[in-house]
Amino acid sequence: MSCTESARRWVFSALFFGCFVLFLSSCTGGKAAPTSSPTLVEVATVVQRDTPIYSEWVAILDGFVNAQIQPRVAGYIIRQNYKEGSVVRKGEVLFEIDPRPFKAALDQAKAQLAQAEAQLGKASLDVDRDTPLAQARAIAQSQLDTEIQAKLGAQATVLAAKANVEQAQLNMEFTKVTSLVTGIAGIAQVQIGGLVGPNSILTSVSQVDPIKAYFTVSEQDFTDFHRRFPTQASVEEQRRRMPLQLLLADGNAYEHPGTIYFADREINPATGAIRVRASAKTQTGALLIPQRAVIELQGSHQVAVVGSDNKVSIRPVTVGERVGKMWIVTEGLKAGERVVVEGLMKVRDGVPVKVASADSAKAGG
């Protein structure tokens, strides 16, 4: 085969193949490309209900009563009757002071009382004996007057002696140092054998049922509260109706709610680690959507709304307070509308989607 014939065959094959490709292209060019199925998204319905708005503050817990335990008499500590950090009852003996000097003082006071009563008895006998004699002018009236005054003096001495006995008995009782309240007893500030006096602090007992929680609110919270409740009567009524919750370290609320006891006139600069939460107001008819349905972009917020035709509409919204995992929407949505909560990055404005509700998706999972 010559070179000229081989070249002709190659050109013919190329032209044939080109016509074949063009034919195939013309045959397939008239058909529409296969369309992709709608994107599956998870939606949630806009809920409307009255919603309490919570505020949280950092608080410091302190005993409702913090009693400093001090002795009433001086002496040496001979016994400690409580365990540090334990619960003690009102009137329970915490410490004992050596009672021997006070026992001796009590015995002496009793002896002085007996002596005073004996002198009163003699003076009474003198007056009783000499009264008829003075009336019969057998003795001078001045003698009877002296005896009457002696009797009155003896009566006063008896009263003073009785008071001394009572004081000595009190001092004996004060050797047993008792708790003034029911609560948790702190660390002992003295040791056995230590000399204490009325100015000594032995320990402290804190009443923790109930307990106080001190917290400082912001100026904005304070102003907003008093704008909504301008009178003292309305403030007191709202305080009674506004329960407080302690939030524990695990995020759960303490099972017993509290109430506002008082508002101080000055700011407390101290801070703590316990959080207090209160519902200061309730927003009526609030529109709620899950927080994950909101797209935040440069200070603006958007949601993907799914219409009745299952097409997506990207819509700007105005949001308010966060309530748990929900977000209050103040503008841009209506109750009952559906917003995309899963698959936000896959949807565009006007694109149809396949809808699965959030509740059904959780049930299926």
The CA-CA-CA angle for residues 128, 130, 133, to 5°, reads 125
Q: Is the peptide bond before 210 cis (omega within 30 degrees of 0)?
A: yes
Please report the pLDDT score of residue 181 as a whole number: 95
Please report the pLDDT score of residue 18 as a whole number: 45
Please report the pLDDT score of residue 238 as a whole number: 85
Q: Is 206 helix (H, G, I), strand (E, B) or coil?
A: strand
Query: 310: phi > 0 → left, psi -120 to 50 → alpha, else beta; which?
Result: left
With a cut of 50, say whether residue 8 has pLDDT above it.
Answer: no
> Cα–Cα distance between 328 and 320 in angstroms, integer?
5
pLDDT in tens, 240-273: 888 888 988 888 888 988 888 887 766 655 555 5
pLDDT over 90 for what percent of the chain?
56
Please report the pLDDT score of residue 359 as a whole number: 56
> Cα–Cα distance between 335 and 328 in angstroms, integer?
12
Lowest pLDDT segment from 101-115, 175-189, 334-348? 334-348
Please report the pLDDT score of residue 123 as a whole number: 96
The residue ranking higher by pLDDT, 64 or 22, is 64
* Dihedral angle sign, alpha carbons of residues 124, 130, 135, 140: negative
Please report the pLDDT score of residue 35 as a whole number: 57
User: Is the distance from CB of 288 to CB of 323 less than 8 angstroms?
Assistant: yes
User: Is the distance from CB of 251 to CB of 37 less than 8 angstroms?
Assistant: no
pLDDT in tens, 50-83: 888 878 888 888 999 999 999 999 999 999 999 9
> Cα–Cα distance between 100 and 176 in angstroms, integer?
12
Give the H or E element holding residue 321: strand 312-323
Q: Supply the pTM of this predicted model.
A: 0.62
Q: Is 181 helix (H, G, I), strand (E, B) or coil?
A: coil
With a cut of 60, say whether residue 363 has pLDDT above it.
Answer: no
pLDDT in tens, 93-124: 999 999 999 999 999 999 999 999 999 999 99
With a cut of 70, say whether residue 36 has pLDDT above it.
Answer: no
With a cut of 90, say whether residue 277 has pLDDT above it.
Answer: no
Give the H or E element holding residue 31: none
pLDDT band at 13 (very low <50, low <70, confident <90, very high): very low
Please report the pLDDT score of residue 94 as a whole number: 98
User: Is the distance from CB of 276 to CB of 261 less than 8 angstroms?
Assistant: no
CA 287 to chain centre: 29
Q: What is the mean pLDDT of the chain?
A: 85
